[in-house]
Structure 1
Amino acid sequence: MLRSPALLAGLLSVAIALLCGLERSGLEIRWVDALERASLDQRFRWRGPVPTTDEVVIVAIDNDTLERQPELYQRRAGTAALVRAIAAAGPAAIGIDQVYVDPEEVLSPELTARVKEHVLKDMPVGAGPEGQADSLLREVARELAGDGELAAAVAEAGSVVLAIHLTQDAGAGRPLPDPATLRHGRYGQQDARSPPFRVAEGGLVSLPELVAGARALGGITVEEDPDRAVRAIPAAWRVGDAAYAPLSVQLVAQREGLGRAELAFLESSLQIGGRKVPLGKGEAVLLNFRGGSGTFTTVSAVDVVEGRADAALRGKIVLLGVTYFGHDVVRTPFAIDLPGVELQATAVDTILAGDALTRSSALTDSLVTLASGLLVSLLFTSILRAGPLARIAGVLAVIGLDVAVAVTAFTRAHLWLALIWPLLAAVVAGAAALAAAYAGEALQRARLRRTFSHYLGAEVLDELLADPTALGLGGARRELTVLFSDIREFTSVAERLSPEDLVALLNTYLTPMTAEVMARAGYLDKYIGDAVMAVFGAPVARADHAERGLATALAMHAALARMRPALAERGAADLQIGVGINTGEMVVGNMGSADRFDYTVIGDAVNLASRLEGLTKTYGVFCLVGAGTRAAAPPSYAFREIDRVRVKGKGQPVAIFELLSGPAGAVASYAAMDRWSAALAAFRRGDLAIARAEWLAFQAENPDDPVVRLHLERLAGLGDQAPPDWDGVVVFTHK
């Protein structure tokens, strides 16, 4: 990890992105959630207040109302007069942000009943002259009729939406009345597959005579986040089997003349006529706050009843609510004491403007987080060769980019994109990579003085001096070509010879083979007994490393022919070798311990080259190459694709090719190659009868080819019908 700060940063980025996905999918990480919500509030403040639609007006029971005409709020008859005054101004809809749960109590309930009974029963109107006491009782009785007055005013207005408060806590409200009583609060349509998950166990509903006269009912329940702020309103409550709408939805419907049938609660959105309102997590409408207290046009209730606000109310959605100091306030991004009625106004205005916030998906947030961390990791790649100050500046730039992307998505697309997770990825990945880079560079400088003795070639030394990052443990990821060669049946050869003769034989064989590697700028990685491992393209970079590897294989084939007389003298006249070549991405550098290490290559591409060398025994050919080498080879080299195999240690199948010839000579040649290609294609698609016929025809032209003989033997055990899961891939479980 210390040798590769970029890799460390990348792995940390992946881990943080996965954690982000888990958290966004339901894993509770409270401090991240708290910071994310705080960052959303900050985005509101950075954006600043924005204009409203100017379609919502608040009639406020404010301090001026309580000083001049307190009966407008304190008495139902006064509220009735206020409702009539609002209705007379011609609004599009009236929403009352109050719940009138209990009858008005001017006198005690017992005394109220006695007065009403006496006046209405014992003293019917027109029964005769009244005394002073009876006249006074009639006046008192009129004062006791406030509930009826308010109910009549609501019914006369014809456009009033009354509030209901619903709660999942049965102890926080009262038992709900018969659902039929609340029918005006329902959505006309709802998705039967996903009913609202908020089940109302209780709540507060206005008096039946008020509910009967209202045009609709709407919920005003708010839910606070853990930091006590309100950022959304519940979109629906379930009472029985029905979904109930919030006050804001009902008011917009009344303004646009929509019936209940045109209100729909769907799985991820609300439908209000032609309007579609997206829902966030928890079936809530994420509010797009316009500003702090006083953002919406607000008139005092006193001005309304005195006729000074008619022009302001005409054609508007009017919300009647309390704003006097300290009553019914909530915390929002712009204020810590926003009157509750302004929260309802915000909800209405958000729906009218069609700019409700949407929360990005867990996948999107994870990808943004991963991108943030990977951008930081790129700063620590060897390609950039950036210094510490440049890297720190780069990390700060990525952080600035994260903020800019989140703010732009918020202001331009009303999208709540994760910000804390991307910032966390950038900071953690950057800090870890900076620490690793600093420690790694210090270790490289300490090792530099004792490293030279491990390298004998001038080219190796030159490259290491030019790029000291290759001196530490680990290495760089590069595309290279690896060659493995091995003597076939070496064990049987060794059994026939004395130890001294065996050593002489190996020296006779390995000396020309090594020379062919060195002649083509290959790096002799190691001898593994009788095997040779060579790398092309490192340590000195060569763009044509694949061609050099192929040329070396052809040269080895020619060298083996030239040394036959010398091998015969050593008792190995029939010695044969196999060569495996593969090109691909691998890690090259110093591998080992802190005290003893070798410059070598590792990776899947290296392992495949070794497996290809082993498969030359199975297929009976001189040289097998991988698809990467075949693709990188110049046109002057000829190949035959012989199979698709899944070698031991690899899950994905690979195509393997036999090297036939090149500019320096030929290894093998075959007639009727069109037959071979047709047979291989039929074998791949499962037409085994066709494959058998084509290979038999090919064998007739090439009777000594061991590969076609092997394929025909395989077909003999398969019949003419391929298995259902046939993919034409041969699996090898041995090395």
Structure 2
Amino acid sequence: MRGAPASPSRPGARRRALLRSPALLAGLLSVAIALLCGLERAGWRVRWVDALERASLDQRFRWRGPVPTTGEVVIVAIDDATLERRPELYQRRAGTAALVRALAAARPAAIGIDQVYVDPEELLSPELGARIKGHVEKDMPVGAGPEGQAEALLREVARELTGDAELASAVAAAGNVALAIHLTQESGDGRPLPDPATLRHGRYGQQDARSPPIRIAEAGLVSLPELVARARALGGITVEEDPGRAVRTIPAAWRVGDAAYAPLSVQLVALREGLGRAELAFLGGEASLQIGARRVPLGADEAVVLNFRGGPGTFPTVSAADVVEGRADALLRGKIVLLGVTYFGHDVVRTPFAGDLPGVELQATAVDTILAGDPLVRSSALTDALVTLISGLLVSLLFAAALRAGPLARIAGVLAVIGLDVAAAALAFTRMHLWLALVWPLLAAVVAGSAALAAAYAGEALQRARLRRTFSSYLGAEVLDELLADPKALGLGGARRELTVLFSDIRDFTGVAERLSPEDLVALLNTFLTPMTQEVMARAGYLDKYIGDAVMAVYGAPVARADHAARGLATALAMHAALARLQPSLRQFGVEALQIGVGINTGDMVVGNMGSADRFDYTVCGDAVNLASRLEGLTKTYGVFCLVGAGTRAAAPPSYRFREVDLVRVKGKGRPVAIFELLAGPDGAVAEYAALDRWSAALTAFRAGDFAAARAHWQAFAAENPDDPVVRLHLGRLEGLGEAAPPDWDGVAVFHHK
């Protein structure tokens, strides 16, 4: 078989090289996908990959399931029960003030109000309210009678108009209330921000001046100045949805002017631990923020990546109605209390666990994440790229030629790598709170695996086509199909196997060639070799090569055959019959008759592709092959059609008949070998001899040195078979040996020519 050298300078050759090496193709694709992963993680967003990655993060939350909270956060809910039993707690500022006083009485560590009181409370029209307030502020005495009752009623109405002041007073009295502010980068999504000095309670005390917050507030919603002035702290409650409308992070800082403003969760943790503003630091350059001794890592977009504890109801929740009625003091004492709205259909967000999580529970999750010290950390771009590369390279190894894995094993291996990617991402998430990329490694495994499988199939198809082209002239269709079903034996290198080799050659071909023109000589050869080749292929032989007029065939390779010796012998008989049928057609070339000699030997030899990596032949080599070639040459000496070696004689079925011709030492061999003439088989006969018992007796006597007995037996055999050239050769040899055998006689004929 011939292999064409691969030239990397030709695109076609490069494509063929990739098809011949699916592992290389998978490796190159893995490197490319890893580079894309690094670019995407460094800022070049691929939307569909990002969406799938976030969806995979949600799935990791669901695989992990709900986890316990720290128990340090309690939600006071304006829920359906509050609206039913005590609606004024939500509908009136005075009611909210009463709720704040009730909360303060329970002595929580901090109170966070997840509401923004932007506008003054207006129970009456502003003009009427102002007139009533102006009237009662004159401090007129309240007398008896209708006028006094009217005055008392006006004073009572005036008190109802002081809800904002009552709420401000309650906030100031509590001393640990953090109010919410909403900041936005869209100027149309809010109101102009007040003087930054008004918002000083919301600032970080320290910030890295080299890396100010990336979010610049252009507008927002802030509570009334009297409320802001009396709050202990202000904190942002702005949430940002990803393209899938889910909330997974809390912005860590907003820039207003030159200052950085903290989220409500950070302010509540600081209040709980008694920290001043100077102990809060936003460190954008280090992707973290500092709350006293706590260091909170941030995501790439300066946000706290929330570690969700579960769905709605995960945090201890108490109705606001129960708080003002004094039934929740023990639950609230020493805790961070978040006051927010949870009644049906109000202020909900989508999270990994639910599509309707109340906004106040999102704030509770942020506080609990900071307290537990387990915010998710996104792995670096380099880490994700390396994990992606490893995933793809593991898949490429499955297609390494050394593994010799089948398609099912490779598919199972790709699935195993995918499972490994999923398991690694899940373990990193649950054990290390690490958000490790999953989509890119899976993409590398699937793309590299699919491409390698496709290349393997395409390469196999190309190999099958190449093998069919290469061997179609050397093998029969049936054997070729078997070879294509299992072409593994055709790699560069050889294997030691017992095989049978046949050589055939035209007698006196040089004399024939001298009488013919080159054109007639080629036509004669084609006429002769065609039927000879057909007989080889018809018996599952492999036509190794033509050597001028000679034919070399191998049996038992490349497809293993246990009866290779019988097939070689049957071919010799078929060649003998085909030559007889061919003789009349040779007269057109001026050739009356052709004679051929056949040598067959069976033994151990090396078979395989031999040569260089660029160009090689599928052939056999070894001492047994050389002997077969010598046997074909000896057919001229002995004047017989076919000589076989002892290995072929031993492996032949009982239906074949032989005559032992001689014991010879051919050129290149030190030990003598017995040679046999093929006489007949189940498909025909080559020669018939009478008195074969005399032939056997003559050989025995000859080797024993009893020349007289040997001569007598051979002369008797010659009388029965006067046309046998072999007996004439032996009788001639005896004439030159005399009457007595020399002392070192072994009966071996030595030949020094090929």
TM class by shorter chain equals: 0.5 to 0.7
**2:374 pairs with 352, 355, 358, which one?**
355
Corresponding residue of 1:28: 45
| SS of alignment partner, residue 210 of structure 2 | coil
**1:133 pairs with 150, 157, 160, which one?**
150
Corresponding residue of 1:693: none
**1:386 pairs with 395, 405, 412, which one?**
405
**1:283 pairs with 302, 318, 321, which one?**
302
Q: What amino acid does structure 1 have at the position aligned with 2:363?
A: Q
Contact preservation (8 Å) 1:236, 1:243: yes
Q: What amino acid does structure 2 have at the position aligned with 1:283?
A: E
**1:17 pairs with 28, 34, 47, which one?**
34
| SS of alignment partner, residue 173 of structure 1 | coil
**2:255 pairs with 238, 258, 262, which one?**
238
Equivalent positions of 1:589-604 (< 5 A) are: 591=614
The whole-number CA distance in structure 2 between the counterparts of 1:381 and 1:445 is: 19
Deviations 1:120-155 (A, max 9, x none): 13x446799852221111110000000000000000
The whole-number CA distance in structure 1 between the counterparts of 2:267 and 2:298 is: 16
C-alpha displacement of 1:466: 14
Q: Does 1:42 align with 2:63?
A: no
The whole-number CA distance in structure 2 between the counterparts of 1:364 and 1:391 is: 26
Is there any run of 5+ residues in structure 2 with no aligned partner, and where? 1-17, 475-482, 494-610, 618-754
Q: Does 1:435 align with 2:454?
A: yes
C-alpha displacement of 1:187: 0.2
The whole-number CA distance in structure 1 between the counterparts of 2:485 and 2:80 is: 80
CA 56–453 in structure 1, closer or farther in 2 if over 3 Å, else same: same
Deviations 1:513-554 (A, max 9, x none): xxxxxxxxxxxxxxxxxxxxxxxxxxxxxxxxxxxxxxxxxx
CA 264–124 in structure 1, closer or farther in 2 if over 3 Å, else same: farther
The whole-number CA distance in structure 1 between the counterparts of 2:443 and 2:232 is: 51
Equivalent positions of 1:302-321 (< 5 A) are: 302-321=321-340
Corresponding residue of 1:144: 161
Corresponding residue of 1:3: 20
Contact preservation (8 Å) 2:142, 2:149: no
Contact preservation (8 Å) 1:370, 1:425: yes
Corresponding residue of 1:201: 218
The whole-number CA distance in structure 2 between the counterparts of 1:58 and 1:450 is: 79
The whole-number CA distance in structure 2 between the counterparts of 1:128 and 1:213 is: 39
Corresponding residue of 2:342: 323
C-alpha displacement of 1:301: 0.3
Deviations 1:85-132 (A, max 9, x none): 0000010000000000110010011111111111113x4467998522
The whole-number CA distance in structure 2 between the counterparts of 1:466 and 1:70 is: 82
C-alpha displacement of 1:436: 1.0
**1:221 pairs with 238, 253, 266, which one?**
238
Corresponding residue of 1:52: 69
Q: What amino acid does structure 1 have at the position aligned with 2:367?
A: V
C-alpha displacement of 1:273: 0.3
| SS of alignment partner, residue 74 of structure 2 | strand
Deviations 1:155-205 (A, max 9, x none): 000000000011111111111111111101000000011000111111011
The whole-number CA distance in structure 1 between the counterparts of 2:88 and 2:311 is: 29
Equivalent positions of 1:262-281 (< 5 A) are: 262-267=279-284, 268-281=287-300
Q: What amino acid does structure 1 have at the position aligned with 2:368?
A: D
C-alpha displacement of 1:25: 1.1
Corresponding residue of 1:155: 172
The whole-number CA distance in structure 2 between the counterparts of 1:466 and 1:438 is: 13
Contact preservation (8 Å) 1:470, 1:589: no
Corresponding residue of 2:673: none
CA 146–466 in structure 1, closer or farther in 2 if over 3 Å, else same: closer
The whole-number CA distance in structure 2 between the counterparts of 1:194 and 1:212 is: 29
C-alpha displacement of 1:448: 2.7
Equivalent positions of 1:579-598 (< 5 A) are: 591=614
Q: What amino acid does structure 1 have at the position aligned with 2:273?
A: E
| SS of alignment partner, residue 156 of structure 2 | helix
Q: Does 1:82 align with 2:99?
A: yes
The whole-number CA distance in structure 1 between the counterparts of 2:249 and 2:354 is: 15
Contact preservation (8 Å) 1:444, 1:471: no
The whole-number CA distance in structure 1 between the counterparts of 2:141 and 2:488 is: 107
The whole-number CA distance in structure 1 between the counterparts of 2:489 and 2:53 is: 42
The whole-number CA distance in structure 2 between the counterparts of 1:125 and 1:169 is: 53
Contact preservation (8 Å) 2:467, 2:484: no
**1:343 pairs with 362, 367, 377, which one?**
362
CA 453–306 in structure 1, closer or farther in 2 if over 3 Å, else same: closer
The whole-number CA distance in structure 1 between the counterparts of 2:318 and 2:81 is: 11
Corresponding residue of 1:117: 134
The whole-number CA distance in structure 2 between the counterparts of 1:447 and 1:340 is: 67
Contact preservation (8 Å) 2:142, 2:148: no
Contact preservation (8 Å) 2:205, 2:281: yes
Count of paired positions: 473
CA 83–389 in structure 1, closer or farther in 2 if over 3 Å, else same: same
CA 336–465 in structure 1, closer or farther in 2 if over 3 Å, else same: closer
Deviations 1:556-587 (A, max 9, x none): xxxxxxxxxxxxxxxxxxxxxxxxxxxxxxxx
Q: What amino acid does structure 2 have at the position aligned with 1:422?
A: P
The whole-number CA distance in structure 1 between the counterparts of 2:341 and 2:62 is: 26
Could you say what the CA RMSD is over the residues aligned between the two structures, in angstroms? 2.4
The whole-number CA distance in structure 2 between the counterparts of 1:252 and 1:258 is: 9
Q: Does 1:164 align with 2:181?
A: yes
Q: What amino acid does structure 2 have at the position aligned with 1:28?
A: R
C-alpha displacement of 1:361: 0.7
The whole-number CA distance in structure 1 between the counterparts of 2:314 and 2:74 is: 10
Corresponding residue of 1:479: none
The whole-number CA distance in structure 2 between the counterparts of 1:12 and 1:364 is: 18
The whole-number CA distance in structure 2 between the counterparts of 1:125 and 1:373 is: 89
Contact preservation (8 Å) 2:252, 2:302: yes
**2:429 pairs with 410, 414, 423, which one?**
410
C-alpha displacement of 1:26: 1.3
Is there any run of 5+ residues in structure 1 with no aligned partner, and where? 456-463, 477-587, 592-596, 600-735
The whole-number CA distance in structure 2 between the counterparts of 1:290 and 1:357 is: 12
Q: What amino acid does structure 1 have at the position aligned with 2:438?
A: L
Q: What amino acid does structure 2 have at the position aligned with 1:295?
A: T
Q: Does 1:181 align with 2:198?
A: yes
Corresponding residue of 1:62: 79
Contact preservation (8 Å) 1:44, 1:334: yes
% of aligned pairs identical?
84
Corresponding residue of 2:267: 250
The whole-number CA distance in structure 2 between the counterparts of 1:341 and 1:83 is: 16
The whole-number CA distance in structure 1 between the counterparts of 2:226 and 2:422 is: 54
| SS of alignment partner, residue 374 of structure 2 | coil
Contact preservation (8 Å) 2:142, 2:151: no
CA 251–295 in structure 1, closer or farther in 2 if over 3 Å, else same: same
The whole-number CA distance in structure 2 between the counterparts of 1:229 and 1:246 is: 19
Contact preservation (8 Å) 2:204, 2:260: yes
The whole-number CA distance in structure 1 between the counterparts of 2:488 and 2:452 is: 15
C-alpha displacement of 1:445: 2.9
Contact preservation (8 Å) 2:110, 2:176: yes
Contact preservation (8 Å) 1:155, 1:213: yes
Contact preservation (8 Å) 1:448, 1:471: no
Corresponding residue of 1:397: 416
Contact preservation (8 Å) 1:470, 1:590: no
The whole-number CA distance in structure 1 between the counterparts of 2:241 and 2:612 is: 58
CA 294–465 in structure 1, closer or farther in 2 if over 3 Å, else same: closer
